Chain A
Amino acid sequence: MTTAGTYTPKPGAAPLPRMIGAQAALETKMLLRNGEQLLLTVIIPTLLLVLFSTVDIIDTGKGKSVDFLAPGILALAVMSTAFTGQAIATGFERRYGVLKRLAASPLPRWGLMTAKTASVLVTEVLQVVLLTAIAFSLGWSPHGNPLSVLLLLILGTAAFSGLGLLMAGTLKAEATLAAANLVFLLLLVGGGVIVPMDKFPAGAQDVLGLLPVSALSDGLRDVLQHGAGMPWGDLGILAVWAVVGLGAAGRFFRWE
């Protein structure tokens, strides 16, 4: 059945880049295979973009609706992947002992986190490509410096990842599932994604404007819709969220 010597020990870790690459590929595959994740990261942003750009439901101010909506939907896409999706997936990986089992593998913990980040970035690239193509087909005409856009997307990803991992690493998986979806819905409505901020009372606007999704959608809109330079204020807000979120996640994350 088995020849002698099949199991003779020959231990060793694979080279780090190969381990991280394999881990990132698997995580991405798991995400793309999961129906609920696809609903959050692809279907909802696409539907919202198409629906509100073509049907005049929300007053998006002067100019084409798609010029207002596309930056907000890009912010939503980042939030859905880096925050909601990552929180839910990681929460259940923790619950089902996946994180625990991987912790006993040759892949170091920081390598696992690097792979998770890479997987989030790959997913975001796919989202941005898809949503940008749809927005162009709806007549979108973006402005501004792509570098500013890239910086906003990266800082936004860092901020949302920190918050998502904080939630996944401290709450029960079921609680994370419920809370991450609720936060997604609340921020979708109150974070300047599809509803312009000036629809809210002045006092509420000041508070809502400090949310990470508001900063990201506002910054993207300043650049892509209005052709502004670096939106330092919004980048600053995102940077603070990123430092606080990632710091707290690093401090409080429990692996099992």
Chain B
Amino acid sequence: MRSEPVVQVQALVKRYGDKTAVDGLDLVAEAGITAVLGPNGAGKTTTVETCEGYRKPDSGAVRVLGLDPVRQSGELHSRIGVMLQSGGVYSGARADEMLRHVAKLHAHPLDVDALIERLGLDSCGRTTYRRLSGGQQQRLALAMAVVGRPELVFLDEPTAGLDPQARRATWDLVRDLRADGVSVILTTHYMDEAEQLADDVAIIDAGKVIAQGSPEQLCRGGAENTLRFTGRPGLDVGSLLKALPADCTAAELTPGSYRVGGKIDPQLLATVTSWCAQHGVMPEKISVERHTLEDVFLELTGKELRS
């Protein structure tokens, strides 16, 4: 199935005062699930909210389902579903009451009772929104985003702060949406979430997309794998490095814990173990690790804490 991209962002710039939140960002999201990753303050929410029609770009072009989110907001808002990072519900409203209300704003809503049961919101009973747990509030916001049977759903950190069961339930729903032909754009801090769900991942930093591709592509492109082993502390890493092919790296991370980076193939593994044998080293633990999305992310965005 080949169709038009659901989101097209070209050279988007958005400033708040003298702070540039989004700095010439280009992003194309095809049908399916697109995860937008990035450190805090990278411009994820600003980008998503521009697509939802909340913010007017300072420059650049944004098209969502082929529509201009600001000038054609009326048509757009009847075709998309939105889950905000927090809030969005009357503090005195009950979960089912609010969901039924949002359903009434749409022409062909889902069966509200089934959705309530599916997301475990039936346990909320007569409790008003302000007294719901954080997880219940999140699930209600998710339900509100999908109840209108949208073509495209924007989820801003849908599983932030959820317990593992609720995270699974959210993931299952997102997968079902995809299976039924709903496109999803989600922002997240959880690398495993992006790896599990996304067809396509865009990594944003400092207001720009710095990498985009499927999780597999990003992990492969992010480099080779890693081999770790433990032995006695203070081994001669220089000697090990000489035994390895030219483009490999080797380092003692903490005393007695060693890492070899490079193209890890059976030959390299043999080289490392024979070097160990020659030097009378028993590698007590030895492992080959696939590069995870988290490794790629940290490599691209740096390891230091951001304010």
A residues within 8 Å of B by Cβ?
1-2, 4-14, 18-19, 22-23, 26, 29-30, 33-34, 92-93, 96-98, 100-101, 103-108, 256
Contacts and interface: CB of A to CB of B under 8 A. Distances in A.
Nearest to A107: B105
Given A6-B180, A106-B148, A12 B92 contact: no
Contact of B149 (A2, A7, A93, A103): A7
Contacts of B92: 30, 33-34
A18 B77 CA distance: 17
Contact of A4 (B79, B179, B182): B179
Contact of B107 (A12, A96, A105): A12
Interface stretch (B80-88, B157-165, B192-200): B80-88
B9 interface: no
A227 to B, nearest CB: 43
A195 to B, nearest CB: 34
A197 to B, nearest CB: 38
A30 B84 CA distance: 22
B181 to A, nearest CB: 6
Contact of A2 (B78, B87, B91, B176): B176
Contacts of A256: 54
A97 B105 contact: no
Q: Of A4, A7, A12, A34, which is in contact with the most chain B CB atoms at under 10 Å from its CB?
A: A7
A7 B182 contact: yes
B238 interface: no
B84 A100 contact: yes
Nearest to A98: B90
Contacts of B149: 7-11
B148 A92 contact: no
A26 B105 CA distance: 12
Contacts of B151: 9, 11
Given A7-B110, A7-B146, A18-B104, A30 B180 contact: no
B101 interface: yes
B105 A106 contact: yes
A9 B106 CA distance: 12
A253 to B, nearest CB: 15
Contacts of A97: 84, 86-88
A104 B54 contact: yes
6 contacts: A2-B114, A9-B151, A11-B149, A12-B106, A13-B78, A96-B91
A11 B148 contact: yes
A9 B77 contact: no
Given A7-B146, A30-B92, A96-B91, A19 B180 contact: no
Contact of B180 (A8, A29, A92): A8
B102 interface: yes
Nearest to A111: B105
Given A11-B80, A11-B150, 16 more contacts: A2-B118, A4-B179, A7-B177, A9-B151, A9-B182, A13-B78, A13-B106, A14-B107, A29-B97, A92-B91, A98-B87, A100-B84, A101-B89, A104-B53, A105-B148, A106-B105
Contacts of A10: 107-108, 149
Nearest to B89: A98
Interface in B136-194: 144, 146, 148-151, 176-177, 179-182
7 closest A-B pairs by beta carbon, nearest first, are: A97-B87, A101-B88, A12-B107, A13-B78, A7-B180, A104-B82, A22-B104
B104 A30 contact: no
A169 to B, nearest CB: 16
B184 to A, nearest CB: 11
Interface in B85-126: 86-93, 97, 101-102, 104-108, 110, 114, 118
Contacts of A103: 53-54
Given A96-B89, A100-B54, A8 B181 contact: yes
A101 B105 contact: no
Contacts of B280: none
A6 B89 contact: no
Contact of A104 (B80, B89, B108, B110): B80
B52 interface: yes
A88 B89 CA distance: 16
Nearest to A104: B82
Contacts of A2: 114, 118, 176
A103 B86 CA distance: 15
A93 to B, nearest CB: 7
